[in-house]
Structure 1
Amino acid sequence: MKTSVALCTYNGEKFLQKQIDSILNQTHPVDEIIVCDDRSTDATVEILNSYKEKYPELFQIHINEKNLRSVKNFEKAISLCTHEIIFLSDQDDIWVENKVEKYLNYFENHPETEVIASNGFGIDDDGKLLDVITIWDVIGFMKAKNIKIDFFEIISFSGNIATGATMAIKKDFVKKTIPFPLVPEFHHDEWIALIAASENRFDFIDDKMFYYRQHQSQQVGGVFFDNNERKKNTLLRFFSLDFNVQTFSNYKHLLKRIANSYQKHKHILEESQVHHDIFSKNLDLFKSLYYKYKEEMKKKYPVRFFILNIVDKIKNKRQLEK
């Protein structure tokens, strides 16, 4: 299987070379690197051109005519890739040297899989390993506890565990994901993972296959958590969809979570041009869960429910329709 890398850049001069070098030093060489630069104003383009001079047949560098921002820039880069397996790459991470080899072996051994993501290490600006739990560790935690893993339910209801920097996608599957919808706080990686998971075509490698850099200027963070048993158990409950509604506070948090998921998927449905059936079903599911737990809350805590219901309507909190 031939491989492409879709690399998007914007003012990435500080860490770009380490990212590219980690791609070039793979045990299984990649066949093309498609770079879409979103009009960088630092030395990013000069760095890219220096690699183009060294590897003219490997690199294709595209400078956007206007700033596309992350989602549409990745859509462009992925669309320009020509080979069977497309790896997504940020500009500030580092790949483990056998990442490509590991992914290709997985695709070969699991022909039904169209999209893969993986676990990863956390590093700081200086490349120092962080002693943290990552959001990607959760899948391994669930497997260790023999908890059923439904990637579509997890991504739909709990959040995205398929960070784009870990992702590889078969080119034939790309057409099912284009165009990417533009929805606030909803990124291309979550979109791709949702579509693949809805068809049982998504899978996850537990091995840590890259170093994810956490720094202040990063666009998307929030993947690292304190490394302790309490946080581990909290994440397990959250991502295993263990609602654990035993108290009034539990109900409040759950209703907020359901309402937020409903609003998010409603917005996706309005903005997306494809896969309306997926998000329509999710809206029906969220609505049924919302009224189920609201009715339970009303029966268990009638007085507090009555007061909360009035306050929430005034403040527009925990509402399906806003």
Structure 2
Amino acid sequence: MRISIAMATYNGAKYIHEQLQSFVDQTRQPDELIITDDCSTDDTESIVREFAKNAPFKVEFHRNEKNLGYCGNFNAALMKTSGDLVFLSDQDDVWFPEKIEYMTKIAESNSDALAVMNDAELTDGELNSVKLTKLGQMKSAGMGPERFVMGCCAVVRRELLDLCLPIPKAFKAHDNWIIAFADGLDAKVVNSKVLQYYRRHESNESQFIANRTSKVTRYHFFKHSIKTLAGSGNEQRYKLMEQKLVINRLNEILSKSSVKRRNQLEIMFREASNKLDHQRLRLNLRKKRLLTRGPLLMKLLVTGHYRYSRGILSFLRDMLG
């Protein structure tokens, strides 16, 4: 089985060498490392090219002609991979030596899985452990594995990439897009083994609450959720756009005469369509007066419609108008 690593870089000179060395230290090394760089202005390129001279596997470095952004840069890297299994990598983490070998075995023993994910140990910027893991933080916050979408902890099959690449330019996060398809097809496996350090520092892209380096509780998660939901409707409108993009891609896939997993894709399409209808209805109801809006929202709640969003939290947000 051919193994690829896809890495997207941008001004990663401070930390990237440690991650590159962790690839060399793997008990099962990759067949190729594909790096796309988003017009870095530091020494990222020179560090990678020097590393490539003596790397025991193929290393490709591609510098984008223009800045593509975080999601676009990862899309470019993934499009250039050729492996049967593709590991997604951040530029500032450090993998444990057994990560590739262990995750490959998990993928091989779960032949229907399109994405396999591992846990990660949270550290500070100097790679000092804070004695917390990503899945541990999610569990203590009351979140289930369906919320686990961290790309740097994922290995995906070529079959999944064939379905979901290229990632639409309007989509913000590459991992949200890719894992949404794995989840929608009920083809994601989450393994609790910790297989890497996840470095937290001032330049991290992800601000997800479970990535904090202090203990997260259900109270913290509830408080964070209320603060987020009480904001403007921009986030809800973006979610609406996301669902439209997913549905458009599913339409493209299902229009082909020969498609693997057609039944699962059709189920995913129906669920995505229901979510889109739900989000549209929520936005329309928010425009109504509270006396009119309240009973209608209560009906949606008791009939289970809020399963397509975030349950009682989304209901409370809609009550605010």
TM-score (norm 1): 0.73
CA distance in 1, matches of 2:64, 2:228: 42
Q: Does the CA-based 8 Å contact 1:260-1:318 persist in structure 2?
A: no
Matches for 1:1-322 after TM superposition, within 5 Å: 1-55=1-55, 58-132=58-132, 134=134, 136-137=135-136, 151=146, 154=147, 161-183=148-170, 186-222=172-208, 223-225=210-212, 231-234=216-219, 256=230, 262-271=236-245, 273-275=248-250, 277=269, 278-286=271-279, 294-295=294-295, 318=317
Structure 1 residue matching 2:164: 3-state secondary structure = coil
CA distance in 2, matches of 1:49, 1:17: 11
Query: Please, what is the CA RMSD of the aligned residues?
Result: 3.6
Q: Which amino acid aligns with 2:181?
A: I
* Cα displacement (A) at 1:236: 8.0
Aligned in 2, Cα 1:281/1:214: closer, same or farther, shift over 3 Å?
same
CA distance in 1, matches of 2:214, 2:90: 25
Which structure has the higher relative contact order (CA within 8 Å, separation 6+)?
1
Aligned in 2, Cα 1:181/1:127: closer, same or farther, shift over 3 Å?
same
What is the aligned length?
277
Q: Does the CA-based 8 Å contact 1:139-1:206 persist in structure 2?
A: no
Aligned in 2, Cα 1:198/1:33: closer, same or farther, shift over 3 Å?
same
CA distance in 1, matches of 2:57, 2:99: 22
Q: Does the CA-based 8 Å contact 1:86-1:170 persist in structure 2?
A: yes
* Cα displacement (A) at 1:232: 3.0
Aligned in 2, Cα 1:2/1:139: closer, same or farther, shift over 3 Å?
farther
CA distance in 1, matches of 2:130, 2:166: 36
* Cα displacement (A) at 1:219: 2.0
Give CA-to-partner distance per residue, 1:29-49, whole Å, 9 cap, x none.
111101111111111110011
CA distance in 2, matches of 1:195, 1:89: 19
Give CA-to-partner distance per residue, 1:193-228, whole Å, 9 cap, x none.
111100101121111111111111222233334755
CA distance in 2, matches of 1:74, 1:22: 20
Percent of aligned positions that are identical:
23
CA distance in 1, matches of 2:298, 2:318: 15
CA distance in 2, matches of 1:269, 1:298: 24
CA distance in 2, matches of 1:88, 1:254: 28
Q: Does the CA-based 8 Å contact 1:140-1:206 persist in structure 2?
A: no
* Cα displacement (A) at 1:284: 2.9
Structure 2 residue matching 1:66: 3-state secondary structure = coil
CA distance in 2, matches of 1:75, 1:210: 23
